[in-house]
Structure formats: C-alpha cells, structure tokens
Structure 1
Amino acid sequence: MSTLRIYSAQINPRVGDFAGNCQQLLAAVEAAREAGADLLLTPELVLSGYPPEDLLLRPALQQRVQEQLAVLAAQVTDMTLVVGYPVVRDGQLYNAAGVLQEGRWTHEYHKQCLPNDQVFDEKRYFTPGEESLVIKVQGIQLGIMICEDLWHPQPAERAQAAGAEALLVLNASPWHQDKHWQRVELASKRCQPLKLPLVYCNLVGGQDELLFDGASFAVDAQGELQVAAPALKQAGMLVELQQETQGVSLQAGEQANWPDPLAYLYQALVLGLGDYVNKSGFKGVVLGMSGGIDSALSAAIAVDALGKDRVQGVMLPYHYTSSMSLEDAEEEARLLDIDYQVYPIAPMVDSFMTGLEQTFAGTQRDTTEENLQARCRGTLLMALSNKLGLMVLSTGNKSEVAVGYCTLYGDMVGGYNAIKDVYKTLVFQLADWRNQQGRVIPQRVIDRPPSAELAPDQKDEDSLPPYSVLDKLLEGYIEQDKSAADLLAEGFSEEDVRRVIGLVDRNEYKRYQAAPGTRVTYRGFGKDRRYPLVNHWPVF
C-alpha cells in the first residue's frame, strides 16, 4: 500500500511580480518539506498572480515566466511541484499547470474550460486546452484540473477515463458571500459519481476589486469534506492519499473552522483593503469621519487592516454638522486610538458661494449648495493625501452608490472603498458584530437615523425608501436581474420600483468614476456589472 502526502499552499501573490511570487513558492516548498510532503500543489496562475489581465499581452511575458520556472527547477529536486502559470505554446497563450519532477518540467496541462462571465474574461486571452493530464506520484495516478474545469463534468470525466485515481485542482476562485460552501458542494457533486477523491487549492488575498479567500479543502471519494485549510490567510494544508485494494482513499485530516457569515464578511473586507493599500505601496489611509455609521465602520476596517498608526481620521464640519456628529466622530477616533483632526470647511464653502453669488442670483437653493460642501471636503482630503502620502478611503455603501446618493468629486473621492459592495442594512449588522469583538463604534452611531447632514434636519429616508425596502429592491434588480414586473409581483409598490430602478439606471456615470472596492456580493459594481453610460432601456 503506497501513501502520497500532498501539501496545498494558499499563496497570496502580487500580480506581475514573477520573481517575488517565485520566492513565495520556494518558501512553500520549505514548508512542504517540513511537513514531509511528496507533492506541493499551488493555486492557479500563482506565478503571475491572478487576474493578470492585459499584462498577458506584454511581449516580455514568456521570458519572465521561463526565468522563474528555471529558478524553481534549479532549487527543487526532491519533490513534485504542480505550479500555475501563463504560457505561450505554438503561438497560443494557455492558462497552464506545470509539473516539476526531479528538477525537470516533465508535464504541462492547459485549462480546458475558460470562464467568460461576471468578473472573468479568460477567453479574451487564453486558448482552451484539449487534453487531459494524469501524472503518477508515489504510485498514485493524479488528474490535473484548473478552477473552471471543476464547474463542468467533462474535464473530470476525461481525467478518470485517462486513468486518474484522484483529482488535483488549482484555483483562483474569487469570493463572495457563501462562495466557500458552494465550492465544497460542487466538489462533492463532481466526486460522488466518479468515486474519486479531490484536493482543491485556492489563492488567497486581495487583487483590485477581487478577494480570494483561500479556504482550500479536500473531499473523499464519497464527496465528504475531510480536510479544510483556514480562510482568508496564507496557510498550508496537508492531505494524505492511500493506495488500497479498492482504490485510492483520502484520509481525514485537520479541518479549520471557517468563520460564521458576518465574521467571514468582515475579515474579507479587512483583507481586501489591507492588500490593496500594501500592494499599492501606500503608507496608510486618511478618511473623513462624519460621525455616521459608514465612516465609522470604514475606520474600524482600516485599523484592523493596517494598524492604528497608519490611519488618520478627519472631521470636516459645516453649519449643518450636529454636535452629536462631532462628539461621535471624536469618540470613535478615541476608541480606535487613531490620529484625528478637525478642519471646519465653512470658510472654503463661503468663499465659493461668494464667488458664485452673482451667477446664482435669483435661483433657489438646491443640491448644488449641498454638493459644494461635499466637494470642499473631497478637495481637502485629497490635499492631505498628496501632502502626507496617504490614500483617501472613500466610505459610501452599496445602497448609496447604487442610487447615486453620493457626490461625484465629493464624498466619492478616494483611492479605494472598503464597503463599496456592502448594503446599508448589512453595514449596521457588521458594526454590531465588530463591537461584539471589542467596542470601537459608539452605540449612538449605530442607533441614530442615517443623515448626510448637508441640509437642516436632513435624513436619508427623506430622499430614499427605508433601507430595509431599498436593499431588497436593489438586490433583486442588480444581483438577480429581476425586471420591474418581477419586483411588483413580489409586493413592492410601483412608486418604489420606478423610483429605485430609475435612480440605478441614471447613475451609471457616477459609478463609472467611483473608487474600486472589495467585491463581496454575487454581483458588484465594477468588473462584474458593465452597463452603458448612456442608454434608454425602459423601466417597464
């Protein structure tokens, strides 16, 4: 009876950093050696990082890939490596998995199924592979697959037909809520009819809007989860396969406890922001703290991602800023122990209004004056960013971004938005959850009615349906592509349906210019939802 020990490495690469990613692979090799592994399994395209997008079109791509493959071959001669990388063969670009054995690259698999929906556009770059690959390690036949291959039955069936006794799957699978359990269910569904065990290795870390959560796992031939790696951090997972009379069995191993949904979401937001700031090379972040819940949650996420010394909070009060907001913003800064400054914007706003007085004569006060306040705040934040080298953190939630309840070049200013894909109702839940781990948000911030405070006694729900209604409408329209008729049939009022859909459609131009943010829902704004800026699609 032969035994094969597989070490799956959840690696957090930097896109385009071939040499740096290679060093991470070599560190994983050392960890695999210490674990007594025979084979190291790595994520999809780990050598280039994922998604490399149009970097794949650069002429130097092939040279940089080959240089690092040579480094790996020279330094790893004592175990089998299965490594993901892009490669050009006969003039065609492939999403590949190479096999390194005894210091030689002996086999190469090309991904057969290329995703081309939601955030994926692999058909823009890659040619689909046509051949299965089965390799023998420690007497066990292993079928190699890459990510999307698992979502279709044919690649696994072909691998079994080619002699595979177990499946190894390299992945760069972006996370959204509940995605980790969907992967396990899919792997179980794929394994049960074939009676093959499966080892799933996933990327971890943030890349622009995408968040990869790791959460690698292994299921046995009956589709039962037997081993699970931690979520949302770099880690290794040891899996043992045994060759027995009845076939190959996967032994039960360590199963990390994956967080509950709110904890998972919060930690994903922390990882996404931290990686964006750190991989981009910023010293830290600066954000406007209004005394409201969105900026409060954003500040907490920033501190958890970067540490208190890399976060600066700024209160930018005007005439309509309540004493409550001033007190609450200061209290949160104290609870988070961050640098906190107050810069009144009345002199700037008044200067603009004086300069525009003649032009505005005879007109009624409207959102123009409100937006001017927000834009003065945005200008001041960008000045601090330029002078101090800190990235501005935008703080608008998904509900606001969806309906355009935000000011272009005002509160939308920023390099990144940690809560861009988080609905307002979920913002409240996350704030409560974070306080349960240790109070960092004043309770009054969570309890008080949300307000932009751009006019006297202003409340969000003066301009919008209640968030409990708004968020359900938005989820149906944005993420599930439900029509107005579908939403009416679910009991929403025609007034709310017309109003909300109209707002969503009219404000595409704002979202087009918004800061990126971590995608955590099934369909986020950005890579995931591409609508024309100018269109006349009817509501009904």
Structure 2
Amino acid sequence: MTSADRSSDLSRAGRLRLAVAQLNPVLGDVTGNLELARRARAEAAGQGADLVLFSELFLSGYPPEDLVLKPAFVAACREALDTLAGETADGGPGVLVGLPWREGDKLHNAVALLDAGRVVGVRFKVDLPNYGEFDEKRVFQPGPLPGPLGFRGLRLGVPVCEDSWNDEVCECLAETGAEILLVPNGSPFHAGKPEVRLQVMVQRVVETDLPLVYCNQVGGQDELVFDGASFALQADRSLAFQMGEFCEEIAVSDWRRDGETWICESGPRVALPDTDSARWQACVLGFRDYVEKNRFPGVVLGLSGGIDSAVVAAMAVDALGAERVHCVMLPYRYTSDESLADAQGCVDALGLRYDIVSIAPAVEGFTECLGPLFAGTHAGVTEENLQSRARGTILMAISNKFGAMVATTGNKSEMSVGYATLYGDMNGGFNPIKDLYKTQVYRLAAWRNANRPEALKGPDGIVIPENIITKVPTAELRENQTDQDSLPEYDVLDDILECLVENEMSVGEIEARGHDRELIHRIEHLLYIAEYKRRQSAPGVKITRKNFGRDRRYPITNRFRDRS
C-alpha cells in the first residue's frame, strides 16, 4: 500500500481507532521517553490503532523549565522525534507527540504529527500559561493561531493544553475545518481538578460542536503530580470515555463518522476516586516518583509516635514497599511511654525496619558545649530546638551512610506558622504531606485505615494505630507540652490559614466567618515571618490550589500587615 492509499483510508471508511497514551515520562530522559513511546505505539498497533496521542512535551518530559534553554537538550529531543518519525514508515499507527521545537530564533512548545516515515505537520502552543505553577513565557514563544493537521484524510484540531482552556484557539480550529479536537496536556493535580477540567472542556465542545479527546500526563515531577484521568467528550457534550486517575494506561477507542460528526462508539469508563482517595494517591505517587526518578534506594524518617510521621510512614510503604522504608525513633527525656508504644504499633502494622537511637548524648553534648555561652540565661525554645536539631543531624547521618533519602514530616499548618525547626525536623529531601493541613492529615489517616486502593503496596486494615489519631498532638520538647500551648485548635487555625493562603481574604472577611480579629492578626503575622523558613524547606507534593513554593511566592522581607 502506498502512502497515498494510506492517507485516504480513514476518510473513505469513516472510522478511526484512536489510542490515548496516558504515561509517565521522566523529565530529561529523552532516550527513555522515546523507548516508552515506541512501546506504546507497538501496543497500540497490536490493537489495530490508526493514531496514538501522547501528552504534552512527552519526549522531553513536562514541565522542562530552564532545561529547554540548553541547545543540546532541544537537539536531543528533535533527534528522538526524527527517529520515531522514521519508524512510522512501517504502515502502523501515526503519532501525535510533543517536544520543544526550535524554529529560527524562537523556541516553541510543539506537537508533531508523524506518519509514513516522516514529520507530516507541527503545531505550536499559542496560549502560554504564566500563573501559579506555570511560567512558560519564561522559556517559550507563542505560536500563531493554528489550522487543523491533515492525517489520512482527517482534519485534526490539536490545541496544546492551555490552548483548550480558553476559546480562541479551539474556535479558530473549528472555523478552519477541524473535525475532532485532540488535546495533549500536562495538567497538574489539585483536589477537585478533574471536575474543573471536565467543565472547561465541555465549554469548548459547546463552542465548537466538535468532539474532544483530552490526554493528560501521569506521574510526579518534583512538587507537581500529574494525575492522568484522560477522557473524551462527544460532540453532544456527553462523556465518551474516562480513563483512570494516577495510573499509566493506553486506552483504545473506536470512532465513527455520522454525517459531519465523529461519534465515539467504545472506550473505557472508569470511576474516578473520591477526594480523600485522590489526595492520598497523589501524595503516594508524588513521593514514589521523587524517590524513583532521583534513584534513591529508599527512605529513612523519624517516627515519633505522632500523626504526621505515622502518615508519612504509611505513605512511604504504599509508595515503595516496607522493605525500602527505615523508621527511627529518636527519644529523649520528654518522650512518653505512650509515644514509644504508638510508634511500635505503627511499625508492627506496616512491617517496617525500626531502630531506636537515643538523642540524649547529642543534646547533652550540645548543652555542655554551649553552657559557658548560655550562662545566666533561662532554658527555653533554644534548648527545645537543640532536640529537634539533634534528631535532624542523626537522620542525615543515616542517610549519608546508607544512601536512603530523609523524608520530612511537617504539615502545611505547621509550615504556615513556622511551627518547625530549621536544620531539625525540616531536614530532608522530600515531604509528601507538605501541602496537607493538619486537619486533612487526620482525615486521611482515618481514611487509609478503612481503605486501600489496589495500586498501593502497603497492607490492608489498620496501618495507623487509633490512639495516634485520637490523642492530643504534642512535639514532646518539654514536660506536658501540647501543640495548643502555642497554636489555636487546628480546625480554627486551618480555616484561617486557608482563608489567608488559598483565598487571599482580608482580615475583615475572615472575621466575618466568626474568627477572633486579634487571633487572625497573630496568624497572619506568623505566616509572613515564617517565609524564610519555607524557602529552605524540602519540596513536597502539591495538593491544594495554592501550595508554598511554585504557587505562592511571597517576599521574605515584608512589613505589610492587614490592619484594615
């Protein structure tokens, strides 16, 4: 069969078999991503697919940030594309795949159509996002408004990710003859994001009267988690198919042309997880990929007998398996028998390697060393922080000796108000609960005890002892200490923080919710003065709409306080 015959097949038959490749590329691993694309194409060919749709910037990985400013990297991506294009001469499926593309003096976020052994068309992303976690205008230049790509007699509209979140590009494609919209995406997760995506894509279908296929990346990349959850919509706005969330898969769907409209006749219909399940799985996936993609043999963490470290231990086991998780109890004179028992209960439930290392010699050594300098002063927070820093030093020493990454365990409530010790409990490489408020940590602990999604590596049943969930939280840095000695109740604190961080509400608006004005002022002040700590904290999974780091970029030096 000649290429001319091949190009007219789909047009004559009025049928299309489309494979959506929801996969987990590794940023910068161009060779590995090419091999992943090859395997996906081979699998799709085995199922008789005509075309394989990959996610945004698949060959490079997404988001590549300043890596695309390196000419050698862009050249490697183009070389991989040309190799893949050559392989389509076998008469198998065509390929829609993304990569950074240099055109003259401009660098574009591009998607290329490969068929019949060559690159048959390229489209450049028009609408470059520059908000929240995105800063594509820093490295890419926008392309012109596109027309459809011709593929075997079909006219494919290919808006790239953000191009489909606004109306201009999709309407242009419809007006210039596109028959179906195929959307490669790199859309990061936050709680509730799948529903947001669906509603936005429904708007594009309403405006264009075209069916739409939304292919999203899956996997962790530093702080971002891409959840997949790819889907398609019929031209009448009904759901055509729905792929799974937080999993790699290749879904094949059959499409039939009825008059001028393409109709999806088959495809998967997977139920998406509820909010708690999605949050837990996002934390686990982000944690797993950070460890795996950075090639750590495992993780080590301090297990205190409290809720945060217990949840991180459970997530670590779910992500990596118990054999790659090492927990260390680091007791001191203020560590209670209850905490020791709870830590042991957690270890027993999860099947962990567990060691107990007393920090007393280290703390007493520091105290003796500083004794002459501190003479005549009263013991206080400084001495409490020595305990935390001794623990941090010991965990880092274990990491240095055996190679496992230290996992940190501070939640968003603590990180917001600075209830954490630099070079102590903040030490480490990654924090899976960094973007979870304390109340959410408690909620997810209870949820995990009652649920275990299939992909997780941890055991069924109770993995976090009930006493850890119900007891009063404490840092145990002095006698009879509780978190509420320094902080309001967590349900109050978390509501105020969500108003300040996620919603940027004024003090007056927060007070109208029933909170004390003086308390709001105090929490706002703590939030601002802890910015220098957060700048030095480990990366962690983005769960909320606005995490610390990529989304919320406040100055450290800042005298503003809302006193209106």
Residue 14 of structure 1 contacts residue 279 of structure 1 at CA under 8 Å; is this kept in 2? yes
SS at 2:538's partner residue? coil
The sequence identity of aligned pairs, in percent, is 47
Residue 2 of structure 1 contacts residue 139 of structure 1 at CA under 8 Å; is this kept in 2? no
Q: What is the TM-score with the length of structure 1 in the denominator?
A: 0.99
Q: Matches of 1:414 and 1:386 in 2, distance apart?
A: 11
- Residue type of the partner of 1:528? D
- Residue type of the partner of 2:526? L
Residue 286 of structure 1 contacts residue 311 of structure 1 at CA under 8 Å; is this kept in 2? yes
Q: Which residue of 2 aligns with 1:314?
A: 328
Q: Which residue of 2 aligns with 1:106?
A: 120
- Asked whether 1:436 is paired with 2:477, we answer no
- Asked whether 1:123 is paired with 2:137, we answer yes
- Asked whether 1:460 is paired with 2:483, we answer yes
- Asked whether 1:43 is paired with 2:66, we answer no
Residue 167 of structure 1 contacts residue 196 of structure 1 at CA under 8 Å; is this kept in 2? yes
Q: What is the TM-score with the length of structure 2 in the denominator?
A: 0.94
Q: Which residue of 2 aligns with 1:421?
A: 435
Cα distance, 1:137 vs structure 2: 3.4
Q: Which residue of 2 aligns with 1:478?
A: 501
- The residue correspondences of 1:190-201 to structure 2 (distance < 5 A) are 190-201=204-215
Cα distance, 1:343 vs structure 2: 0.3
- Residue type of the partner of 2:487? L
Of 9, 14, 18, which residue of structure 2 is paired with 1:2? 14
Residue 330 of structure 2 contacts residue 359 of structure 2 at CA under 8 Å; is this kept in 1? yes
Q: Matches of 1:12 and 1:359 in 2, distance apart?
A: 54
- Asked whether 1:409 is paired with 2:423, we answer yes
Q: Matches of 2:107 and 2:504 in 1, distance apart?
A: 34
SS at 1:249's partner residue? strand
Of 172, 186, 192, which residue of structure 1 is paired with 2:186? 172
Cα distance, 1:463 vs structure 2: 0.6
Cα distance, 1:300 vs structure 2: 0.2
Q: Which residue of 1 aligns with 2:346?
A: 332
Residue 44 of structure 1 contacts residue 171 of structure 1 at CA under 8 Å; is this kept in 2? yes
Residue 166 of structure 1 contacts residue 198 of structure 1 at CA under 8 Å; is this kept in 2? yes
Cα distance, 1:252 vs structure 2: 4.7
Q: Matches of 1:58 and 1:444 in 2, distance apart?
A: 53
Residue 320 of structure 1 contacts residue 456 of structure 1 at CA under 8 Å; is this kept in 2? yes
Q: Which residue of 2 aligns with 1:498?
A: 521
Q: Which residue of 2 aligns with 1:513?
A: 536
- Residue type of the partner of 2:548? F
Q: Matches of 2:562 and 2:525 in 1, distance apart?
A: 7
Of 79, 89, 100, which residue of structure 2 is paired with 1:86? 100
Q: Matches of 1:382 and 1:539 in 2, distance apart?
A: 39
Of 380, 398, 411, which residue of structure 1 is paired with 2:412? 398
- Residue type of the partner of 2:434? K
RMSD of Structure 2 on Structure 1 (CA): 1.0
- The residue correspondences of 1:260-339 to structure 2 (distance < 5 A) are 260-339=274-353
Residue 113 of structure 1 contacts residue 149 of structure 1 at CA under 8 Å; is this kept in 2? yes
Q: Which residue of 2 aligns with 1:224?
A: 238
Q: Matches of 1:367 and 1:398 in 2, distance apart?
A: 21
Of 72, 83, 107, which residue of structure 2 is paired with 1:71? 83
SS at 2:481's partner residue? coil
- Asked whether 1:243 is paired with 2:266, we answer no
Residue 4 of structure 1 contacts residue 138 of structure 1 at CA under 8 Å; is this kept in 2? no
Of 371, 382, 394, which residue of structure 2 is paired with 1:368? 382
Cα distance, 1:246 vs structure 2: 4.5
Residue 228 of structure 1 contacts residue 237 of structure 1 at CA under 8 Å; is this kept in 2? no
Q: Which residue of 2 aligns with 1:28?
A: 40
How many corresponding residue pairs? 540
Residue 140 of structure 1 contacts residue 243 of structure 1 at CA under 8 Å; is this kept in 2? no
Cα distance, 1:74 vs structure 2: 2.4
- Residue type of the partner of 2:21? A
Residue 211 of structure 1 contacts residue 519 of structure 1 at CA under 8 Å; is this kept in 2? yes
Q: Matches of 1:32 and 1:268 in 2, distance apart?
A: 27
Could you report, residue by residue, the CA deviation over 1:376-425 in whole angstroms, capped at 9, with x for unpaired residues?
00000000000010000000000001110000000000100010000100
Q: Matches of 1:251 and 1:529 in 2, distance apart?
A: 43
SS at 2:158's partner residue? strand
- Asked whether 1:134 is paired with 2:151, we answer no
Cα distance, 1:253 vs structure 2: 2.6
Relative to structure 2, which stretch is displaced further, 157-166 or 477-486?
477-486
Cα distance, 1:138 vs structure 2: 4.8
Could you report, residue by residue, the CA deviation over 1:66-105 in whole angstroms, capped at 9, with x for unpaired residues?
2101220222232211001001001100000000011110
- Asked whether 1:523 is paired with 2:537, we answer no
- Asked whether 1:388 is paired with 2:402, we answer yes
Residue 3 of structure 1 contacts residue 138 of structure 1 at CA under 8 Å; is this kept in 2? no
Q: Matches of 1:53 and 1:519 in 2, distance apart?
A: 17
Cα distance, 1:358 vs structure 2: 1.5
SS at 1:394's partner residue? coil
SS at 1:119's partner residue? coil
SS at 1:201's partner residue? strand
SS at 2:407's partner residue? strand
- Residue type of the partner of 2:203? K
Q: Matches of 1:474 and 1:112 in 2, distance apart?
A: 36
Cα distance, 1:245 vs structure 2: 1.7
Cα distance, 1:248 vs structure 2: 2.0
- Residue type of the partner of 2:42? E
Cα distance, 1:192 vs structure 2: 1.6
